[in-house]
Amino acid sequence: MFGPEHAEVYEAAYRGRGKSWQAEAADVADRILAVRPGAARLLDVGCGTGAHLETFAGRFAHVEGVELAPPMLELARRRLPRVPLHAGDMRDFRLGVTFDAVTCLFTAINFLGTLAEMRAAVAAMAAHLTPGGVLVLEPWWFPEQFIDGYVGGDLVREPDRTVARVSRSTRQGRVTRMEERWLVGDASGIREFSQVGLLTMFTREEYLEAFAAAGCEGSYEAGWLTGRGLFVATRTGGYATRGTG
């Protein structure tokens, strides 16, 4: 997932489906400021192409991002040349600074393969929060919500490009296996590529337990803009223990 071909069409496909990174980031910023008025520093983990960060930069005095996939990070740096963007793994990154808020959106954490890795990532994020700081995390579907064999499709027409995507998601134990086929057409020709994404389905209780182990008090808010809900946690305890569980 998130190779150069995918990074090129990533935003177009989801915007065509109705996703608004701007609206999501504005909503998350409102939630953060409601919990921590005056929050000035935000870190976006798994920041992708920087689409959420672009809006966060207008709401907070200082923002930074962390991203593992080089093609996504390259696009984010083009979009936000003045924003510090770090190549890093959410399971063990260490920036040496803290923030009033840390976000991890669009199910980025679910590309981790095990519960221990998820707990390590939550611990790493919590370790970058100031006391009273806010952690906002968007999950993938919970196991009981997942529809085995679900088929999705998107067609996006832009002035100089057409993008088509078909996906099929199946259950493999705790993992969603999402197979995607893409067609991209422009003046240079028609290109086709495929990819497989694996997203681990953690339970609501496992997320909340991970927050508690990381010294945070968390809650789940159903619905939200994507339908999968949102976790909002506040750092109340000491620094997290990495990799427990």
Decide if 65 contacts 57 (C-beta within 8 A). Answer: no
pLDDT in tens, 28-83: 999 999 999 999 999 999 999 999 999 999 999 999 999 999 999 999 999 999 99
CATH assignment of 4-142+202-235, among 3.20.20.70, 3.40.50.150, 3.40.50.720, 1.10.3720.10: 3.40.50.150
Backbone phi and psi for residue 72, each to the nearest 5 degrees, phi listed first: -70, -40
| Both structure tokens of 42 | 């935000």
- Percentage of residues in the chain with pLDDT exceeding 70? 96
Boundaries of every domain in the chain: 4-142+202-235, 143-200
Question: Beta strands of the chain (E only): which ranges?
Answer: 41-45, 62-67, 85-87, 99-104, 129-137, 150-158, 161-172, 175-186, 189-200, 216-221, 230-235
pTM: 0.92
Per-residue model confidence (pLDDT) at position 1: 66
Beta pairing partners, 158: 161
Decide if 218 contacts 235 (C-beta within 8 A). Answer: no
- Looking at domain 143-200, its CATH architecture is Single Sheet (2.20)
pLDDT in tens, 144-189: 999 999 999 999 999 999 999 999 999 999 999 999 999 999 999 9
